[in-house]
Structure formats: C-alpha cells, structure tokens
Structure 1
Amino acid sequence: MAQRTVTVASKVGLHARPAAIFAQRAAAAGVPVTIARPGGAPVDAASVLMVMTLGVPHGEDVVLEADGDGAEAALDDLVAVLATDLDSEDAPPPAGAGA
C-alpha cells in the first residue's frame, strides 16, 4: 500500500469546489484511494461527500493511501492536486476536462 502526507493548499480547505475537483481526480485514478486526517479514519477519496465530511481546513495535513498497480502514480497526481489552491485560476482541471 502506497501512502503520502500532504498539506491542503486551498484557502477554503477541502470544501465545495476543491473537494469536488479532488474527488473527481481520485475517482479517475484507476485504483482505490482513501484520505484521512492524521490519526483519523480513512474515507473514500472518490466521494465528494465523504471528503467534505472530513472538514479539512487550509494548511492541515491529510494522509492519502492507494493500493494496486499505479498506486504510486495516482498518489503523486493527487498530492499535486492538494498542494495547489484549487480555488485559483491555475487550479488543475477536473478529470476528463483535459487533465
């Protein structure tokens, strides 16, 4: 199982648009991915509702885990997504929108 810790860069944390972008990218990853607050229970990263229930604010670390072929590459992509302010104009596009 691959694991990464990343600091959430979005100014609003993982809420609304940032959570939706992240969940879409996680769903398109091709492997199961979970996200958790450090020490917390992991949730399905492909579910925007589950991601939003974590209540992750700006600047907090989260732990991503993935398993299977392509897990490392999937986590590399998702770390890059979370390390970007997803409310900015330079935010990565949702999966399927030229990503």
Structure 2
Amino acid sequence: MGERKVTVAAEVGLHARPAATFVQRAKQASMDIAVAKLNGGDPVNGKSILAIMALDVRQGETVVISAEGDGSEEVLDELAAIAAAP
C-alpha cells in the first residue's frame, strides 16, 4: 500500500474548494483512497466530500493519503499536490 504524508498549505485547510478538487481527482481513480490525520484518527473515504470535510483538516496539519493498486503511486502524487497547494 502506497501512502503520502502531506502538510496542508491552503488557508482554508482541506475544506471547500481544496476538498472538492481532491475528491474530484480521487473519484477518477479505480482504487480506494483513504485519508487520515497524521496525529491519529481513523482513515476516511477519500472519495467522499463529506468525509473529507468532517476530518476538519486545517492549514499546517499533516494528513496521510493512502491507496493500493495499479497506478496508485501516480494518483497519490496528484492528490498530495492538491493537498499541499496553497
């Protein structure tokens, strides 16, 4: 299983537009995507806007994005870039 640890840079955290962009890309992937806060908590479905927003990830917090399957490394790189974008 691949994973990326990413510090969220957007002023609004992983909410609103960044969350929508993240979920749109995740939904294009054939594999399951999971997202969790680095400091603990259960992973949530990365393809669910409600689940992502419920994580309440704020600017400067780190998340772990994970996926497994063909093409997962590329998808993880793209999702990490979205989460890290200011």
Same fold, TM-score > 0.5, yes or no: yes
- Could you list the runs of 5+ residues in structure 2 that have no partner in the other structure? none
Larger helix proportion of the pair = 2
Report what 1:13 is aligned to: 13
Which aligned runs of 4 or more in structure 1 are off by greater than 2 angstroms? none
The answer to whether the 8 A contact 2:18-2:82 is kept is no
Q: Normalized against structure 2, the TM-score is what? A: 0.93
Report what 2:36 is aligned to: 36
**Superposed displacement of residue 27, structure 1:** 0.9
**Superposed displacement of residue 20, structure 1:** 0.8
**Alignment deviations for residues 13-64 of structure 1 (CA, whole Å, 9 cap, x no partner):** 0111111111111111232111000221000111100000000000100000
Q: Percent identity?
A: 52
Report what 1:55 is aligned to: 56
Structure 2 CA distance, aligned partners of 1:69 and 1:83? 23
- Could you list the runs of 5+ residues in structure 1 that have no partner in the other structure? 86-99
Report what 1:25 is aligned to: 25
Report what 2:77 is aligned to: 76
Say what the alpha-carbon RMSD is for the aligned residues: 0.9
Instruction: Identify which of structures 1 and 2 has the higher relative contact order when contacts are C-alpha pairs closer than 8 Å and 6+ apart.
Output: 2
Structure 2 CA distance, aligned partners of 1:15 and 1:41? 18
1:28 alignment partner AA: Q
